[in-house]
Amino acid sequence: MNLTPPSRLQARVALASVLALALGLGVLSVAINLMLRSQLEDDATSVLKARAAAQIATISTTGGKVVVRDGTNDQVLDRQAWVFVGRRALVRPVATADVQRAADALAGTTHAVERDVAEDRFALRAEPVRNDGRGRPIATVVVAVSRAPYEHTERIALFGSLVLDLFVLLAVGGIAWRAVGTALRPVGDMARDAEDWGEHDLDRRFDLGPPVDELTGLAATLDGLLGRIAASRRHEQRFSAEMAHELRTPLAGIQAEAELAARPGRPAEDVRASLAAIVDGTKRMTGVIDTLMAVARGEVAGADGCDALEVITDALDGLPAHGRVTVRGPSGGASARLAADADLVARALLPLVDNAVRHARTRVDVALAVRGGVARISVLDDGDGVAAGEEEAIFAPGYQGRAPASAPGAGNGGAGLGLALARRLARTAGGDVVAEPGQGGRFVLSVPTLGAPV
């Protein structure tokens, strides 16, 4: 019984959980960082707009000239703001060459424009200045803001999200490993117990009650499997015991005949008779073995339309005590065609007749009756009958009451199969064998029929 080691399955389930979580965390982290970047972009734009508005507030015209007044935080504005009249710069802060060129290029713009200087990580915004907010632009204000703080914030957020994701993955992976291991531990224990019970104790069961979840469902399945294995083993043991039990007597008879034939000085006629008995007994044993093996393999033929009276007559012809048996057909003289294999029915009938002959005082009657699509072959004797309460026990292999273990096959060279196998064969043919209460021995073999009586 090869099972996937629990640790391997545990690892697969835990890994699948971690991968699913990693995918979810990855999507969430990307979304959060994109939202943060967008927010930082908006913040940078807001700062640029505020600085541009502050710088514009310092610009006025006097006598047709543009004048830049000193205002609050003037040094801060001058460091990050340009004021152009046309292409001429009234205010020019100290800046790198790339930033300066980008600011100069924005001079004279007629509408608000933003531009990035990637090399220096700066963002610039240019806005035109108009008198009273109307008319032609009298100047252009360009302001700048460094993107370094915003990019630093983005890097911190990205690094923090990665560290948090890793921590969560490790924590969830450990929790999943322990949780899956705890959940699979009973499954592993059940698998080991079932394997051990299957080899040493098939009567053990988990008995967890009706299945209400996967674990109890597995227990119920394993209980059913163990039950089927136990039933199969009991069937094999019973079949082997019945085979040994039924073949012991005919083998003893063959051995006795062989020993008689081997005695010195026996007449040739007696030797030939013993050899003929040995051959006959061997054929009958072969037939018994073939029938039993066919039944065990489920290869017995179904309905072949055999005549019921012919089956009874042919079966009784092989009995030494045939003369003591009376056969009676159905009322009106009509027989029936049996929906079963003729040899199977004959071998089921023989132990019933043999048992009756051994226990009868004077006579044995075999009566055939057809009723409701079933042929009932009754075997009656005037012996002591079956004791009350033993109608079922008498069919157990090796029963020591009316039909002792040595009874089947006695006196007929091993033709009988025993009452237990008689019932088995009858049920294989679709019928049954029962012992009925009443005076004397009363056994009934029932077999289904084909169509109406003939």
At residue 83, the pLDDT reads 92
Which carries the bigger pLDDT value, residue 418 or residue 347? Answer: 347
pLDDT of 277 reads 81
DSSP string of 268-307, one letter each residue: HHHHHHHHHHHHHHHHHHHHHHHHHHHHHHT-------EE
- Of 263-267, 334-338, 446-450, which range is least confident? 334-338
Residue 368 one-letter amino acid: L
H helices, E strands: number in the chain: 9, 14
| 90 residue type, one letter | L
Q: Give the span between the Cα atoms of 206 and 220, in whole angstroms.
A: 8
What is the Cβ-side half-sphere exposure of residue 10, based on CA atoms within 13 angstroms? 19
Per-domain boundaries in the chain: 7-152, 302-450
In the predicted structure, residue 415 carries a pLDDT above the cut 50: no
Q: What is the mean pLDDT of residues 36-62?
A: 90
What is the rounded average pLDDT for all residues in the chain?
Answer: 80
Q: What percentage of the chain reaches a pLDDT higher than 90?
A: 22
Q: What is the average pLDDT across 179-194?
A: 82
Looking at residues 433-448, what average pLDDT do you find? 88
pLDDT of residue 193: 83
Q: In the structure, what pLDDT confidence band is assigned to residue 170 with cuts at 50, 70 and 90?
A: very high
* Buried-state track 245-272, b at ≥16 Cβ within 10 A, e below 16: bbbebbbebbeebeeebeeeeeeeeeee
pLDDT band at residue 10 under the 50/70/90 scheme: confident
Q: How far is CA 444 from the centre of its chain?
A: 45
pTM of structure: 0.48
Residue 439 pLDDT exceeds 50: yes
- The DSSP bridge pattern shows strands 364-371 and 325-328 to be parallel
pLDDT of residue 423 exceeding 80: yes
Token look-up 């292999």 returns 397
Taking alpha carbons only, the member of 124, 125, 120 closest to residue 148 is 120
Query: What is the pLDDT at residue 301?
Result: 52
Q: Under a CB-based contact definition with an 8 Å cutoff, are residues 428 and 300 in contact? A: yes
Separation CA 71–CA 209 (nearest Å) = 87
CB 198 within 8 A of CB 226: yes
Q: Considering only CA atoms, which of 300, 302, 305, 291 is closest in space to residue 338?
A: 305
Which of 62, 101, 110, 60 has the alpha carbon at shortest distance from 82? 101
Question: Is residue 432 within 8 Å of 393, Cβ to Cβ?
Answer: no
Would you place residue 331 in the very low, low, confident or very high pLDDT band (cuts 50, 70, 90)? Answer: low
pLDDT band at 409 (very low <50, low <70, confident <90, very high): very low
Does the pLDDT of residue 333 top 70, yes or no? no
Summarize pLDDT for 241-287 with one digit per residue, the tens: 767 766 776 787 788 888 888 888 778 888 888 888 888 778 777 76
* pLDDT score of 158 more than 50: yes
Using one digit for the tens of pLDDT, what is the confidence trace for 337-381? 888 888 888 888 888 888 888 888 888 999 998 888 899 999 999
Range among 134-138, 142-146, 294-298, 324-328 with highest mean pLDDT value: 142-146
Give me the CATH code for the 7-152 domain, please: 3.30.450
pLDDT at 321 over 60: no
Q: Residue 289 above 50 pLDDT?
A: yes
Q: How far apart are CA 357 and CA 365, in angstroms?
A: 10
Hey, what amino acid is at 11? Answer: A
User: For 105-130, how does the pLDDT look when each residue is reduced to its tens digit (9 = 90+)?
Assistant: 999 888 999 998 877 789 999 999 98
Query: Looking at 9-23, 32-46, 328-342, 425-439, which range is the least confident one?
Result: 328-342
Distance CA 32, CA 12 (A): 30
Query: Across residues 431-454, what is the average pLDDT?
Result: 82
Judged against a pLDDT cut of 80, whether residue 63 lies above it is answered with no
Q: What pLDDT is recorded for position 405?
A: 34
Q: What is the DSSP string of 6-24?
A: HHHHHHHHHHHHHHHHHHH
Residues near 296 by beta carbon (within 8 Å), at least 6 away in sequence: 239
Predicted confidence at residue 319, as pLDDT, reads 67
Residue 13: the pLDDT is 85
Give the Cβ contact number of residue 41 at 10 Å.
13
Give the pLDDT score at 416.
Answer: 38
Instruction: Answer whether 445's CB lies under 8 Å from 347's CB.
Output: no
Helix (H, G, I), strand (E, B) or coil at 194: helix
**What local confidence, expressed as pLDDT, does residue 191 receive?**
80
pLDDT of 49 reads 92
Fold of 302-450: Heat Shock Protein 90 (3.30.565)
pLDDT beyond 60 at 104: yes
